[in-house]
Structure 1
Amino acid sequence: MEFFNQYGQRIGQEFPEWTKRPLPEKIYLKGRYCDVVPLVVDHAEDLFPEWQSIDDERDWTYLGDHRPANMTACYAYLRNLAAHPERIYFSVKDKADGKIKGLFYVGKFDPENGSFDIGDVNWTPLMKRTRMSTESLYIVLAYFFDQLKYRRCEWRTSSYNTDAIQSAERIGFVKEGVLRDKKIRKGHLSDITVFSITLREWAGVASMMNGWLHEDNFDHRGRQVQKLASFRRY
């Protein structure tokens, strides 16, 4: 449907009920399989051993930082993230064993327009391809869309990061385009691919994610019965 003003010029849909949204807080968000908690320095005790459990830095290629070389460096790294003035870094805590198994941030808060972004997604090997990776993002999306009533989430990633692109598309983010030569990261030019979920899409995305996350969709070993796409209804 198209909308026009009194001069016959094409404009966007009216949104008269909109009001400025509140800024998010560093709060504890609970889920079925994991909790999303504000990052603190002590999370290094769980994260550092898992980051060091593989022989190289392939999991850090598309991140702005390098893997901390030792525990002291890891404490300093997390201290800097936790103190970031424009982002809230969250950790993902496994409810089964209480261990921290990943982190990411929410940022670029625009309360005037109800927009925010998710970035620096860094799952340890223990968290990759688990239901926690999906649920942790769902928990944060629900906090912004359902509680704070924001209306847009962005996810920007290197156009070469195929794992992140597949994850964004799997969850229901829509590709908007590519920002060419947008960043220089670790001495290399990088195109950035932009994805988003908007308020008009959120109900369908939330229903899909909730259906997939239901305990009936997993066997006794935590393996999925049906893929996430099987629950897509939009």
Structure 2
Amino acid sequence: MFKNTENFNSASTIPKKAMLPIYKDFYGQYVILKKLDLEELDLLYEKTHGSDELITVWQYLPYGPFNSPEEMKQFYANYLTSSTKLVFCVHSAKTQEPIGITCLEDINPDMGTIEVASVLYCKSVQKTEANTETVYLLMKHCIQELGYRRIAWRCNSNNEASKRSALRLGFEFEGIFYNHMIVKNGNRDTAWFGLIDQRWPPVSKNLETWLYHSKPEHRGSLFQLNTMVKGYSNVIMKDKSDSLSNVLTH
């Protein structure tokens, strides 16, 4: 009979619970995060609607675009009532204007898991430092201050830009849930990525080096920095010509 049962019940082997996140303001060099104020959606609606090009930011989200600012406000008003997500408006630190929305979702402090999700940015700030610093600030808060062990990122498996973003931010590809959802464009296969606390020290150093380099023109590719972190697993991109040297560098 196996007798070493104490190892299964030892308190030292059980991770501590994380703390429940609450709304707070985050101040970075490029962005400021605050709890979404519905009145800010008038400007965000204008920046994400009105032309075929502007509304492409909604392509892979399960909701949107909206018929009016009022409809958009009603949707996010319901989001704000959720007990399992926090909804942040991303502002430009330079202009103070709202430029996007990012959420913390699937919050499970007992298991120490949380997700960065429902990411939306107006077209003009894509491929800038905005999303990188936003995710960095949230991950730093969740892991270093609240004690979360795992941060998830998931997206439509057809969304190549989101998959590249996950990788360059330090997430690892974990697999695909096939036939995971039925969304506005039909079936959705979901690509899953994760960042665990053991990987955070080198990833956070890379993010800080890239974001706050004294000479931005010499900072190189964040994708390359984070894909060299030990334990990294490559995601298979649809375009087989993709390589570490020709993917997104912003």
**TM-score, length-scaled by structure 1:** 0.87
SS across alignment from 1:62: coil
Corresponding residue of 2:247: none
Q: Which of 30, 33, 42 in structure 1 is aligned with 2:30? A: 33
Q: CA deviation at 1:85?
A: 2.9
Contact 2:17/2:147, CA 8 A, preserved across alignment:
no
Query: Contact 1:178–1:192 (CA<8 Å) still a contact in 2?
Result: yes
Amino acid at match of 1:227: S
The question of whether the paired residues in 2 share the 8 Å contact of 1:217 and 1:226 is answered with no
Deviations 1:112-156 (A, max 9, x none): 121101111111112201111100000000010111011100111
Given that 2:31 and 2:93 are in contact with CA atoms closer than 8 Å, whether structure 1 keeps it comes out as yes
1: CA distance between counterparts of 2:109 and 2:173?
23
Question: Which amino acid is 1:84 matched to?
Answer: S
Once the two structures are TM-superposed, the CA of residue 163 in structure 1 deviates from its matched residue by: 0.8
Question: Corresponding residue for 2:166?
Answer: 168
Q: In the alignment, which of 176, 179, 183 is matched to residue 178 of structure 1?
A: 176
Structure 1 segment 73-112 matched on structure 2, within 5 A: 73-112=71-110
Q: Residue 234 of structure 2 corresponds to which residue in structure 1?
A: none
Percent sequence identity is 21
Alpha-carbon distance in 1 for matches of 2:34, 2:129: 17
The SS at the match of 2:125 is coil
* Higher mean C-alpha deviation, range 135-144 or range 34-43: 34-43
Aligned residue for 2:233? none
Supply the distance in 1 between the matched residues of 2:203 and 2:43 (Cα, whole angstroms): 31
Match of 2:39 in 1: 42
Structure 1 runs (4+) deviating above 3 angstroms are 14-17, 229-233
SS at match of 2:70: helix
* DSSP-derived class of the 2:141 partner: helix
Change (3 A) 1:226 1:187: closer
Cα deviation, 1:88-135, whole Å, max 9, x if unaligned, reads 111111110000101121111111121101111111112201111100
The 5 A counterparts of 1:136-155 are 136-155=134-153
By how many angstroms is 1:20 displaced? 1.6
Contact preservation (8 Å) 1:40, 1:78: no
Mind listing any 5+ residue stretches in structure 1 that lack a counterpart?
Answer: none
**2 CA distance for matches of 1:155 and 1:225?**
25
8 Å contact 1:41–1:82 — kept in the other structure? no
Alignment deviations for residues 61-95 of structure 1 (CA, whole Å, 9 cap, x no partner): 21111212222223223322222232111111111
Letter in 2 for 1:146: Q
- In the alignment, the residues of structure 1 paired with residue 166 and residue 51 of structure 2 have an alpha-carbon distance, to the nearest angstrom, of 24
- The number of residue pairs the alignment matches comes to 222
- Counterpart in the other structure of 2:52: 55
Determine if the alignment matches structure 1 residue 22 to structure 2 residue 9.
no
Report the CA distance shift for 1:80/1:217 in structure 2 as closer, same or farther (over 3 A): farther
Q: TM-score, normalised by structure 2?
A: 0.81
Tell whether the 8 Å contact from 1:68 to 1:77 is kept in structure 2 after alignment.
no
CA–CA separation in structure 2 for the residues paired with 1:53 and 1:208: 37
Residues 98 and 113 (structure 1 numbering): CA distance in 2 closer, same or farther, change over 3 Å?
same
Specify whether residues 41 and 194 from structure 1 end up closer, same or farther in structure 2 by C-alpha distance, changes over 3 A only: same
